[in-house]
Each structure stands twice: as structure tokens, then as C-alpha cells.
Amino acid sequence: MASAIVVGPTTEGGGTRPVGPGRRHSPFHRARRRMFVPFVYPALAVYMLIMVAPTLFTLWLSLNRWAGAGPMQWAGLHNYTAMFRDPVFRTSFVNTFWIVVGVGAAVFAIAFGMTILLQDMAGRRFARAVVFFPSLVPGIAISIMWGYLFNPDGLVNTLLADVGVHSHPEWLAQDNMFKVILIGMTWLSSGVYTVIFMAAVDRIPPELYQAAEIEGASAFQRFRYVTFPLMKDVVSVCSVLWCVGALKTFEFLLVFSAESGALPPTNIWNFAMYSYAEAFNPDGTADYGIAAACGVIVLLLTGLLMFLARRVLRRDADTY
């Protein structure tokens, strides 16, 4: 019954009728006004307590020197300058960049590719469901499996030996480990975006394709001039959410630690790992100020990337 009503024009405005002075002061509205606080503020209180207040405190903490106990010592921007001088932080910066931009580009390219591949394939529902599943699996499980696959006597080397390739690189050696991780993350994340892009493609009216067909457009041209422009909004939101998620990558790196109880080698650290290590490294002293400063950098970058991604894609959409 309800769904029959939803299909009316009311859906569009979300039931927002013109609010005249009379409506605003009706008893109906007054009763709701009284309930606004009891409805909204419990959620708001928990949210402020768990997310907003700690974030504000982290901003303050990043300007101080503190080991978690004892008095805080004002440090101004010292934490930030010390951090940028730290070579480990700079490595973390580069690695974070590779994860956000490098893996991001690969994930979006693969997702677009899969979208085209699956567009009118028989059995696409099943294919879509299968491709999507890895992204539901916790990152830590995927990375454990990934680490095993690339072990010296793991599956990858066994497979290579089966086809006669015996001279393979040492996948998990210092220099290669991070590349192996990047590939694993690409595989882990591609499914979600494939599914979202496919959903976006499904919403495109088929008449547009028929028109393109009549004009003699090739498969690539159909993608370039019909599919892609109409997916701009979705791609924009996706790139924002990708950046937000990718900046926080943690589990996937954590598992690749060389020795027990220790963190992974510093050459695969990213911001999240750096921040965690500054606060909780088992073989170092806690420096909450620097850990907080690194957290602030992640926050600022998240904000900046969200802003840029929306901006760039919006401008493109306008010129189209």
C-alpha cells in the first residue's frame, strides 16, 4: 500500500509542502517542534562525544608535546615541522599518495572496464554478485591471504613454476612488498565500484544508446559520449568516498610485519600507520603530539580531496 503512494509526485519533494505562516504555527507543527530535541539530541550527543570532541581535542593536541601523562607542553607548530623533517613521515606521505591516487586510478579504470565488459553480458547479475564479494571481506583477511599467496613457497610461485617460470622476484622483499600490497588493494576495492558504476549505467535510458547506435557510434564512442557523461555525478561521489577510505588504509599494511609484536617495516608505512606508531609503537616512546599532528594532516587532506574531487568533476560536467 505504502509503495503505491510513494510513486506519486510527493516523492520528489520528500513531502515538503510549502510552509506558510499558518502551517508553521499549527498544533501539529508545535507538537513536532517540542519533540525535535528529544528526537535529535541523543544521537547528536553520542556523535559529538565520540567523533567531534576527540577531533577538536586532536587539533589542540597537535600543537602540544605530550606523552599521555603529566602536563602538556605548548609546542606551537613544532610537531608539524619535526614531522615533515622525519624521513619516515615523508615515506609515509609518498606511500599514502600511491594508495590514494595510484590504487584509486587503477580501481576506477578496472571498474569502468568491468562495467563495459558486463554491460549486456548474459549472467551479469551473477557476475556482479561475485565481483562484489571481496569488498565485504575485512581488509585484514584479504591481506593475510595476499601475504600467503606471495610467500616464497606460496601459490603465486607454485603457479609460475607450473608454467615453467622459475626466476621470479622476491615478492615480499623490501623493494617489492609495497607494490604487492598496492595490487592487493586494487583487487580488494574494484568490486564495489564496479557494482556502483553498473547501477549508474542501468539508470541511463536505453533510448540514448539506440540513438547512438543509429548514428553509428562504436562501443567506445557509446561509452565516451553517452555512458561516461551521464555517470559524472556517481564518479564524483565515488572518488570522494574512495579518498576518504583510502587515506585511512591500515589493516592491509599491518599484517605485513616482519617480526612478532612489531609494526611493519617503515618503508611501507602510510599516514595511518605513522600516526598509530607515534602513539603506540611497542618499541618507541609515545609522542601523542606528533601522532595528533599526523591525524590532523589526514583530516585536512580528506577535506581537501573531497573539495577537489567535487570541484573538478563538476566543472567537467558543466563544459560538457
Partner 1 sequence: MTKIKRHRGWGHLVTVPVAWAIVAVNVLMIVWIVLSSLKSTREMALHPWSWPKHFIWSNYRTAWVSAQFGAGVGNSLLLIIGSGLACILLAAPAAYALSRFRMRSSGLHTALFVLGLGIPAQTMFIPLYVAFDRIGLVDSVWGLMLIYTGAGIPYALFLLTAFFRSLPVELEEAAALDGAGPGYTFWRIMLPLARSGLITIFVLQAIGHWGETFFALVMLHTKTTLSLSLYNFTQTMQYTGSRYSVLFAGLVILIAPLLVLYIVLGRRIIEGISAGYSK
| Per CB under 8 A, 253 contacts partner 1 | no
* Closest to 105 (Cα-Cα) out of 272, 235, 249: 235
C-alpha distance from residue 274 to each of 89, 265, 271, 298 (Å) = 7, 11, 5, 11
* Closest to 118 (Cα-Cα) out of 189, 196, 188, 215: 196
Check: CB of residue 42 under 8 Å from CB of residue 59: no
| Per CB under 8 A, 160 contacts partner 1 | no
Check: CB of residue 77 under 8 Å from CB of residue 88: no
Q: How many residues contact partner 1, by CB under 8 A?
A: 110
Per CB under 8 A, the list member of 75, 292, 309, 313 interacting with partner 1 is 292
Q: Which is nearer to partner 1, 182 or 241 (CB)?
A: 241
Check: CB of residue 288 under 8 Å from CB of residue 67: yes
User: What DSSP designation does 60 have?
Assistant: H
191-220: contacts with partner 1 (CB under 8 A): 192, 195-196, 199-200, 202, 206, 209-210, 213, 219
222-241: contacts with partner 1 (CB under 8 A): 233-234, 237-238, 241
Residue 64's beta-bridge partner residues?
74
Per CB under 8 A, the list member of 121, 165, 211, 312 interacting with partner 1 is 121
Q: Which stretch binds partner 1 (CB under 8 A): 77-85, 94-102, 143-151, 171-179?
A: 143-151
| Per CB under 8 A, 244 contacts partner 1 | yes
| Per CB under 8 A, 169 contacts partner 1 | no
| Per CB under 8 A, 284 contacts partner 1 | no
The single residue listed with the C-alpha cell 601475504 is 147
Per CB under 8 A, the list member of 168, 221, 257, 320 interacting with partner 1 is 257
Q: Which stretch binds partner 1 (CB under 8 A): 88-96, 165-173, 190-198, 311-319?
A: 190-198
| Per CB under 8 A, 280 contacts partner 1 | yes
| Strand-pair category, 73-74 with 64-65 | antiparallel
Report the amino acid identity of residue 111.
A
* Closest to 150 (Cα-Cα) out of 133, 173, 167: 173
261: alpha, beta or left? (left if phi > 0; alpha if psi -120 to 50): left
Q: Which is nearer to partner 1, 22 or 38 (CB)?
A: 38
| Per CB under 8 A, 97 contacts partner 1 | no
* Cell, residue 310: 567535487
Per CB under 8 A, the list member of 131, 180, 185, 188 interacting with partner 1 is 131
37-96: contacts with partner 1 (CB under 8 A): 38-40, 42-44, 46-47, 49-55, 57-59, 61, 68
